[in-house]
Structure 1
Amino acid sequence: MSFLPGAVAGAVARLGDPKIGKHLLREEGEVVVDEVTHHWFAYTRPALESGLALVLLVGSWFVPVQVAWFLIIVAAALLLHAGWGALGVLRDRFVITNMRVFRVHGVLSQSLATMPLSRILDISVKKPLHGRLLGFGHFCFESAAQEQGLRDIRYVGRPDERDLSIQRVVQRAGLRGPRVPN
């Protein structure tokens, strides 16, 4: 956010903060191990929409006034949609604590999906070709429950490190069998 002026950067930071601290069980000793924001690639759709809006705005200078107003309205709608999408990506957080993993997302209404570490049976890390090149992947959590709100976490930066972080927390919590020496 360093490219934004100070007041704008502060406003974006306040709007983009989902306030995960209020979801922690501090009195039980829960601490955040990792707070995962989306990789920059998740912002490509809003960026492309903003670019198209800019093209429409510049194009409105070179057409008759009867057409220009329509282009400006479409550009404004695209900018609003892009801003809403970017804010949605900014407010989507995946949090790993010493007791559970949870995801907080939503702009006007906020959703929270939680899974205790003991319920995590398997974590699949999917890295498409462009994700491998750019350094992101997608998590797929498998648990004993068939339907859960914490199944797919997309556009996770440094997915291998994050997977190892979760595995370490699960191991330290003693939820997997003891390590067998070689």
Structure 2
Amino acid sequence: MGVLGRFLDPQIDDHLLAVEGEIVIDEVRKHWAATAGWYALMALSIPLFAWMVWLGPLFWIGLLLGLTAFLVGAWKVHVAYMDRFVITNMRVFRVHGVFNTHLATMPMSRILDISMTQPWDGLLMGYGHFVFESAAQDQGLRDIRYVGDPKRRDLTIQRVIQLAGLRQTMKVDLWDVDDAAEPDGT
């Protein structure tokens, strides 16, 4: 697709370590709720364009307001479309930006804690927000907002971390209820 394709698609495959065997487990686009307000702004351009009829010789005011509403809404929708969060077998990364690409990466081994928040409207519409914690003070990948189906995405990340052997597993078959009892009965 060339240069034009770079502005229309974030091209996730360009950021993969294919030689090292990195594969995409999940590519997460922003949930539709992240752009709902911008679509509403684009829809507002229709009555603004219709308002031109009643403005007479000042029709250009309605034209400018309608074009501005439409173009700002379309731009913000495209910016949200270009924002991707990617889970691979080696790391998580976020690519965003239209003209300037920003890439933030965190290896699976550096993820210490993942917090998932679902506000009340996120519970209704099926989105949530992630906060990644690592040992680094300043990190480029911390807040990932408007993630669709956040519970499944969280389980996917936890599963990749576990299958990579980065977390220890307790041997349940070695656990005996009688061993846990203290002499005082607790």
The question of 1:62 aligning with 2:54 is answered yes
Residue 131 (structure 2) pairs with residue 117 (structure 1): no
Residues 1:149 and 1:14: Cα distance change in structure 2 (over 3 Å): closer
Q: Does 1:40 align with 2:32?
A: yes
How many Å apart are 1:179 and its aligned residue?
Answer: 4.0
2:17 is matched with 25
Q: Which whole-Å CA distance do the structure 1 matches of 2:172 and 2:87 have between them? A: 27
Number of matched residues?
Answer: 170
Please, which runs of 5 or more residues in structure 1 have no aligned partner?
Answer: 1-12
Partner of 2:145: 154
Q: Superposition pairs for residues 1-182 of structure 1, below 5 Å?
A: 15-66=7-58, 68-181=59-172
Task: Please give the root-mean-square deviation of Cα atoms over the aligned residues, in Å.
Answer: 1.6
Per the TM alignment, residue 63 of structure 1 is displaced from its structure 2 partner at its CA by 2.1
Structure showing greater Rg: 2
Q: Mean alpha-carbon deviation: is it higher for 171-180 or for 113-122? A: 171-180
Three-state SS of the structure 2 residue aligned to 1:63 is helix
**Aligned amino acid, residue 20 of structure 1:** I
Q: Write out the 4+ residue segments of structure 1 that deviate beyond 6 Å after TM superposition.
A: none
Normalised by the length of structure 2, the TM-score is 0.87
Question: Over residues 114-168 of structure 1, what are the superposed CA-to-partner deviations in whole Å (9 max), with x where a residue is unaligned?
Answer: 0000110111111000000010001111111122121111110000000000000
- Asked if 1 retains the 8 angstrom alpha-carbon contact of 2:55 and 2:62, the reply is no
Distance 2:171 2:46 in 1: 59
Alpha-carbon distance in structure 2 between the residues aligned to 1:85 and 1:149: 22
Q: Deviations over 1:89-124 (max 9, x none)?
A: 101000000000000000111100000001101111
- Tell me the distance in 2 between the aligned counterparts of 1:155 and 1:79: 23
Instruction: Give structure 2 stretches of 5+ with no counterpart.
Output: 174-186
Q: Please state whether the residue corresponding to 1:64 is helix, strand or coil.
A: helix
Contact 2:116/2:129 (<8 A) preserved: yes
For the residues of structure 2 that align with 1:55 and 1:180, how far apart are their CA atoms? 65
Please report how far the alpha carbon of residue 75 of structure 1 lies from its aligned counterpart in structure 2 after TM superposition.
Answer: 1.2
2:49, 2:62 within 8 Å by CA — same for their partners in 1? yes
Corresponding letter in the other structure for 1:169? V
TM-score, length-scaled by structure 1: 0.89
For 2:117, the aligned partner's letter is K
